[in-house]
Chains A and B, each alone.
Chain A
Amino acid sequence: MTNNDVVIKSNKYAIAFEGKELSNDEQIELMEIITNNSQMQIVCLLEKDEKVETPFKNSLEKRLEELSYNTGQFYKGTLRSGQQLEIENSVIVIGDVNPGAKIISKGNIIILGALKGSAYAGAGGNSQSFVIALNMQPGQIKISDIIARAPDVKKPRKLLSDPKKVKIEPKIAFIEGNNIYIEPLDKSVLNDIKL
């Protein structure tokens, strides 16, 4: 078989034999039996070869993992106290994450609203992950295996939403060295984002 393009249309299949070692003649005989007795058309025969397969499998898995960091899922609604959202890839929340709520993602977390609860990005261990929120007031942020929490407020908590006193702007939390930094989302920070 020289045809390496595996085209799977209605009744065309690629096939692999497992278990008993078969000679070439035996394999051809088996394929003939299959094509003669069923609607299946065998387009190519896949060979099992551990040495070729393992690195191929690894690179595929790695690529899939990278893809899952980059592909995201939407969640619309406010996450309320006691609610927890766990997502395998990145997530974009359209709504607020209220105090007492928790959001966990293996990829990145983007919140189009206020983050007041806790967020855990890069739950699989990816330290490139980041958290972005339009209004960043997190109780706790965890990225990969580093945790940061909000500083204790000494002075009496004045009105949280007084726009004159507290400037609300989109911010990003990311890891640098062994610390989590929270910075306004400006061009230079955006350029450093690696997907």
Chain B
Amino acid sequence: MGEVIVITSGKGGVGKTTTTANVGTGLAMLGKKVVLIDTDIGLRNLDVVLGLENRIVYNLVDVIEGNCRIKQALIKDKKLPSLFLLPSAQTRDKNAVTPEQMQKLTEELRNDFDFVILDCPAGIEQGFRNAVAGADRAIIVTTPEISAIRDADRIIGLLEAAEMKRTDLIVNRLRVDMVKRGEMMSISDVVDILAINLIGAVPDDENIVISTNNGEPLVGNDTLPGKAFMNICKRITGEEIEIMDFTSDKGFAAKLKKLFKRNN
């Protein structure tokens, strides 16, 4: 029996889809069988981030309405044979699906996969209710901005009311330089406010934009966010890894910088 995880945030644009793509890809790299479901009906883009857009034939609404079998709608990843995507429909809206139907779908999928990961749309309406309905656990994505944290707080409250068994937090788009100057909230500030378990922090990095545009998740490569996402995946599977400390000057680049400073 696989685990059903919903990735949600409340606010839009904080990196739910990027996180879903990277976490899904990372788990598949770790040898897990993973299916990603884009529940953002009408505004699909998980397929774009994964670079699978032109392979879509059937979508989520087709599966739910019985126009095709689940297997027909699943798209296999370009590189990883154990990663699949169930894309969203672009021509319909959130009301095309009910929470009960989503629950039934995730129950079916969890028999065949280790992880079923749902990419939740922004907001707290029908789309959110659909995505959350069948999930065992939730991962909240937020950025260190007051507006995103406020929305995340609201979402956590709604998930608690819906008796979600477990909620974890990812702090995304952290800018270490700004935190050092005291212009951005640090990870611990965010955790203090939201008071839930932190499962990872991802620094802001231009490589994310590049990887999104290329349709290739950067999880597992040598960049800071690539490592951060891989650590998150390992923590999801139950490994205990310390949260990376981006603020310390222990990295190779920092050492190099110090060296140059000394020479000057």
What residues of B have a CB within 8 angstroms of the CB of A160 in the complex? 185, 189
* Closest residue on chain B to residue A161 by CB atoms: B189
**Closest B residue to A116 using CB positions:** B193
In the bound complex, how far is the Cα of B193 from the Cα of A13, in angstroms?
56
Could you mark each residue 152-186 of chain B with 1 if its beta carbon is under 8 Å from any beta carbon of chain A, else 0? Answer: 01101110100000000000000000000011011
Question: With A and B bound together, what is the CA distance between A95 and B192 in angstroms?
Answer: 11
Using a Cβ–Cβ cut-off of 8 Å, how many residues does chain B contribute to the interface with A?
17
With A96-B195, A158-B182, A159-B182 in contact, do A81 and B189 touch (Cβ < 8 Å)?
no
- With A78-B195, A96-B195 already in contact, the answer to whether A159 and B153 are too (CB < 8 A) is no
Which residues of A93-115 are within 8 A (CB) of B? 95-96, 98-101
Is B150 among interface residues, defined by CB-CB distance under 8 A?
yes
B contacts with A: majority SS: helix
Q: Which residue of B lies closest to A162 (CB)?
A: B182
Instruction: Determine which of A78, A81, A116, A162 lies in contact with B154 in the assembled complex, contact meaning CB atoms within 8 Å.
Output: A81
Q: Is the CB of B189 within 8 A of A82?
A: no
Interface residues of A (CB under 8 A from B): 77-83, 95-96, 98-101, 116, 156, 158-162
B binding-site residues for A, Cβ under 8 Å: 150-151, 153-154, 156-158, 160, 182-183, 185-186, 188-189, 192-193, 195
Given A116-B193, A156-B183, A161-B188, 12 more contacts at CB 8 Å?
Answer: A79-B157, A80-B160, A81-B151, A81-B153, A81-B157, A82-B158, A95-B195, A96-B195, A98-B153, A100-B154, A160-B189, A161-B192
